Structure 1
Amino acid sequence: MKADIDANPALMKATGSTLGGAPTDPDRFHETDLMEREAEWGAAGFQLQFMLDTSLSDAERFPLKTRDLIVMDVPPEVAPVRVAWGAAPEKVHKDLDNVGFDGDRLYAPIFTSADFQPFSGSVMDIDPSGRGSDETAYIVTKFLNGVVFIRRWGGFRDGHSEATLRRLAEIAKEEKVNLVRAEGNFGDGMFLRLLEPHLRAVGYPVATEDHKVSGQKEVRMMGLIRPALQQHRIVIDTTVVRDDLQSAKRAAQLLKGSDRGSSMETSGLYQLTHLTEARGALKHDDRLDVLAHALAYWSSRMNADAHEAELKLKEAQDREFERLIFQTQVIPVHSRRKTGRGRGRRR
């Protein structure tokens, strides 16, 4: 085979099939036959079955990529009016590990507007742990102009302990969230009843809300995360990415030899890139599930156009500038009305 290619490199160029070179066994699979099979199987199936190449199959099976995220430092109370995604080589975060498949990357934004605005909302979502080695996962998301900003993301392995409840209350206060939401399927809303005294104890009695979910978990998560991710509507703080990767490494070391082994399965980004719609696709999906809860909450507001919002802000700033100019303008002396004493008086 190699000798044939060395003698005639043109054998590697696609002719009949668009995905490969000349047939290796033309008596069995001639050009016309391969063209028909490619049309029948599709690109991924053809490469898998006839070329033993799983790359396209993996890409279709695992559609969520970290390269579709925007990774940047996110201030706690304000954000750029517009943030633009771009897969420019110079924007790759080379210091952040890739937990996805080969070729995946983490990118900084290709453009951020100079104007900042306060977030229009801030919510903490919590997914209480069920049993076994599940985490109590949480995420703090903030919203501005159709974009969801991830400010905090993590999990606690000690279930509903007092320490976990206290720390969740402290995070809610630190981030000044407007609402704390928790999945109410487990314990029929009991988790928030346990959390509320801790919110009052830290001096932050914020509003709380239960919500319930239904249907196959994997399909639900994919349906919520995929559109927002592929439209580049999710911005994640750089520190959150580092903490997610580091916490997974620490968990792997602590739990080495257990059911989690030494893998990265507790990483939210790992869960993101390894999700499929197959039932039981992930052994641990706590952090990904809580991200899906957050996106479900913001979905009704994500149709806002960031570019339109930037134009509206610019118009408002121009109007304010004009107002200040006219307010401070000095009227020339010659244009003032002269009244004069005794004007129009008979002599």
Structure 2
Amino acid sequence: MSKSDRYCVIMAGGIGSRFWPMSTQKFPKQFQDILGVGRTMIQQTYDRISKIIPKENIFIITNKEYVELSHQQLPEVPQENIVGEPLLKNTAPCNLYMANKIAEINPNATMIVLPADHLILKEQTFLDKVELAFDLAAKHEYLVTLGITPTRPDTGYGYIQFVDKKDSDYYKVKTFTEKPILEIAKSFLESGDFLWNAGIFIWSVKSIHHAFETYLPEMTQHFMACEYNADSEKSCIELIYPKVQKISIDNGILEKAKNVYVIPADLGWSDLGTWTSVYENTEKDENRNAVKLKHILTYNSKGNVIRLKNSNKAVIIDGLKDYIIVDTDKALLICPRDHDQLIKEYVLDLKNLKKGDKFM
């Protein structure tokens, strides 16, 4: 398979409300340097994949609101490769849209689909597994996914069960399970044939088209109405999007298809879904505080994650343990770390206040 037949789609449409107030509707998490490493999440995703895919073959699909932001952060990506969705319709429609766009350019294309906001610490392992996935997807009509070796019974992730027939680099998928309760997650881990679903997919445009025709025929029909990479594409997409079913690629295709294969991968992976996961993946000081500030004094304070928009501000913290402290131009959040799942609710409550919208 020629390298020029390889394409990448980075999905960057989410709003990331669990990272409020750092992540806002105007400036969501994927465009933020959440870990304080000097590159935003989408830039890190691009940096990784651009080592094996030419930049002109890398596409970004995002909300139309974030097209300009994507262009600012990734000036290397051709402007016509940055595509804005008119509405949020989950991941099945955007996957079909991009497969159509790429197929129009190259009917022999094999593509990888990546979330824009995931952390991968073991970059070389990731690239090796992606190479294997590209080979598999180009040679067979397989829908390939990378499954993450689980390290704990996490209830926040989806799981992939595979058929363990041989000692191999890849396995046939038996079932996909959405976020399970703790008891079930524990039994998954003990059984040894479950992996985390990282939402990383590799398939040829032919294979994914075939799957959409089989399992989401109505959606396929809607998207056939448009001419891709043409002047009329944008207005056609705006016309069909309201009619298209809102469904994830997992529910719509992968849970039903019989030709899904998984490559187990230990990638040092996190979907950075919560402030706690940011805390776990950030350097800490001697008091286990995750903080990168010049002018900070802490007393009797341990296990806090602290993020400030203005790093020139002096910060003094006394007597706080295991807290999230995030200060931006518009808002200040102080809450226990183990309440990080409630941030979405705080945001909804704030929206209901008079003029609360201006803090989003």
Which is greater in Rg?
1
> TM class, shorter-chain normalised?
under 0.3
* Higher share in helix: 1
